[in-house]
Structure formats: C-alpha cells, structure tokens
Amino acid sequence: MLDILQKLVEIPSVTEDYQHNHQAIEFIDGFLRSRGMHVKRLEFGGVESLIATTQRTKTPRVYLQAHVDVSPAPAGLYTVRQDKDKLYGRGVFDMKFAIATYLQLVDDLKDHLDRYDFGIMITSDEEYGGENGAQSLIANGYVPTKICVIPDGGDNWAIESFAKGLWFLRLTMPGTAAHGSRPWEGDSALEKLLLLIGELRQSFPHNSREERTMTVGVLHAGQSVNQIPAEASADIDIRTTTFAEHQEVFNLVTALCKKHGATMHVITKGTPCINDVDDPYYKLFIASIEATTKRPVSATMSFAGSDGRHFSEAGVLCAIVRPDGGGHHSDSEWISKEGFYQLLDVLRHYIDTATLKTAEPEHQRDYARTT
C-alpha cells in the first residue's frame, strides 16, 4: 500500500494543474479498472473526476470519497519519506493516503467485488472549493444512498459530527466625496459602513467556538486623510451553527444593508454540516473504527470546510474522520504510519458490515481467517 501512496505522491497534482491531475486520475483509473471496478470519467469546467463502482450504478450504498489535488510544495516534497512512526510528503495526509487505502481495498477484494455495493469518488478541485468536482458530481446524480466516507477532517480518529456553515460577504457602501474641511458637502461611505458593521456585530455578541461568529477580514475605503470617501467596502466572514440560523443571518445582513443603503455580494457560502449520529450507517462506521483502534471514538467539530459541505447540502450523511496526522499545506505534512494502515482495516471492516449485498457466511469466514 505504501508503494501506491508513493506513486500518487510522485505526481505533483497541484490544484489547477490539469495535466498532473489527469495523470493521477489515469493511474487510479487503470488500477481500479484492471481489478474489475466499473469506472466512469467525468469533466466539468476542465476539472476531471472519476467514479468507480462495484455495481453498475450512480448511486451505490456507500461512496468512499477523496480529492487527488494537493496544495503547492517544493520539488523535494513529492516523494514519501519515513521515519519510525510517520510518513512525510505532499498529500500524504491531505489526502492521497485515503486514495491509497481505497485502491488497496479494491485489490484485496478483487475476486469478490460483485458481492458488494460501494463506490469510489475521486475529484481534483477540492482545494479550490469543489464546485467542478464534488458539487457537479452530486448535481449529476452521483450520490450514495446511505453515506459518504470522507477522510478529510476530524482529528486522530475523532469523527467530525458537525461543521459550521459559512458566508463570505462583501458589503459595499456608496457615499459622496468632499474635502475633509467641508463634511457638510459630502457623505462618508466609510462612516456609514462602520455603523452598519457595528449594528451587525450586535447580533454576534460572543464570537465563541460554539456559537455563530462574525469577523471583518478586509476593509477598503479612502485615499487621503482630507478627503471624505465616496465608496467603502468590507469583506465579512460569518460562521453559522444551524440551517435555520444560516438563513436567518443572511436575512439579517440583507435587511441591514437595505436599512443603511449598502449592497451585498456573496463571495462564497456553505451550509452547516450536521450529521445524524443515530443513523445506523454512521454508527456502523464508528463501530468499524472502534473494532480497529480498540478505543472509543469521540466527536469533534470543524471550522474549515471539506467537500463534505456539498454532500451535506444535498442531504447526504457523511462520515468525516481520519487518522493522526498534520502539517497539511505545509512542508512538514505527515501521517501516522499506524493510522494509515488502520484506515485500510477500518474500511475493510465497514465494507464487510455495511455494503455486502447479502450476508454471505462463506465469505464472512474467509474474512475472519484473514484478519
């Protein structure tokens, strides 16, 4: 499995480097096709994706999802290095390790694939938001009927039960320019915008980990000290905790803009990702982790969005969890060696308990012997 990871890491499939993402997807395609998976290639806006399923369907019970694109790195990082406990290299944690385990899983099951109902979904634009990858695949009907497994969040086998929603909004305020000595002739766009922001802030009193938050990341106004600005804009980052709150906050900003005479532009958005932890397929996944790691799984919340938000928006349950690792997007990206191999065991356990078309005792015995 390490050799598969090495092959994947060697391809510098940086987001928007279509040629290298193509090369990586070609490799995955060849591997899965030769072992009997039904492979389909798709392309939206120049971005390639791959779907591989055990049955001929767009909608298997379970999708194992991953993105093959990575963030840029110095040339020396496109090879897997290892020490006693860790593997290092670009993408070992975010998230080529997952693809390596998917391929190994299919290799292990290649003589029995028709007994299962699962699929593998590989995209190549997650680092840029997933619009042409996961979002377009979902829009074209590629969704699991039960659950999507995404090892691109969570923390050392703590499962991501919840991720906040987000709104990135640009508020633009018009005004009238005038000399700073004659404010009665002008109308300061900046001061009006600050009043709006101040009023908005009152609806975000705590900015705490558990609650909705709001921050102003960018403010543009004015050119010189003695001129009243004719235009001002603010880029605001809002995070929400429930579907109702997500819409409520949007309505609130819309109403405040109207009241203060500003316009609003949505830079990007994402609904909160709230998982039904009582769902049987979710519980089974947790059981598979616990059977492998021999310790209880805890829940964690997330503040950054993975492709999970697109599935969540489509009402698809997601299991977002991964082994120990860190340094993603940095030069010291790493994954725990033990965790890497544990993910294969977790997936094998899960595929056997959750996606067998019918319980087949003979095969179950095989499985018991090999583990």
State the nearest-atom distance from the C-beta of 78 to Zn ion, in Å.
Answer: 17
Applying CB under 5 A, does 152 fall inside the site for Zn ion? yes
User: Residues 95-134: x/- map of binding to Zn ion (CB under 5 A)?
Assistant: x---------------------------------------
Structure tokens at 257: 């803009």
DSSP string, 60-122: -SEEEEEE--B----GGGSS-EE-SSEEESTTTTTTHHHHHHHHHHHHHHTTTGGGB-EEEEE
CA distance 282 to 41: 28
Residue 62 and residue 352: Cα distance in Å, rounded?
A: 12
Name the DSSP letter for residue 127: G
Piece of the chain touching Zn ion by CB under 5 A; list 91-99, 190-198, 237-245, 363-371: 91-99
CA distances 242 to 137, 162, 174, 198, 321, Å, are 25, 10, 33, 23, 21
Tell me: does residue 352 bind Zn ion (CB under 5 A): no
- Min dist CB 361 to Zn ion, Å, is 39
When the beta carbons of 95 and 137 are compared against Zn ion, the nearer one is 95
Size (the chain), residues: 371
Instruction: For residue 333, state whether it binds Zn ion (rule: CB under 5 A).
Output: no
- Name residues contacting Zn ion, limited to 18-77 (CB under 5 A): none
Look-up of token digits 């000595």: 181
Q: Distance between CA 81 and CA 169 in Å, rounded?
A: 41
- Measured from the CB atom, the residue of 29 and 126 that comes closer to Zn ion is 126
Taking CB under 5 A as the criterion, the residue among 69, 94, 187, 324 binding Zn ion is 94
Nearest-approach distance from CB 47 to Zn ion, in angstroms: 15
Cβ nearer to Zn ion, comparing 95 with 234: 95
CA distance 127 to 223: 35
Stretch of residues binding Zn ion (CB under 5 A), selected from 40-48, 111-119, 145-153, 232-240 = 145-153
Say if CB 342 and CB 323 are below 8 A apart.
Answer: yes
Per the DSSP assignment, residues forming a β-bridge with 25 are: none
Least Å distance between CB 183 and Zn ion? 50
- Total chain residues near Zn ion (CB under 5 A): 3
299 class by beta-carbon count within 10 Å (0-12 exposed, 13-18 middle, 19+ buried): middle
Question: C-beta of 87: minimal distance to Zn ion in Å?
Answer: 16
Q: Of 99-107, 146-154, 180-188, 311-319, which segment contacts Zn ion by CB under 5 A?
A: 146-154
Identify which range of 90-98, 236-244, 259-267, 342-350 contacts Zn ion by CB under 5 A: 90-98
For binding to Zn ion (CB under 5 A), which residues are involved? 94-95, 152
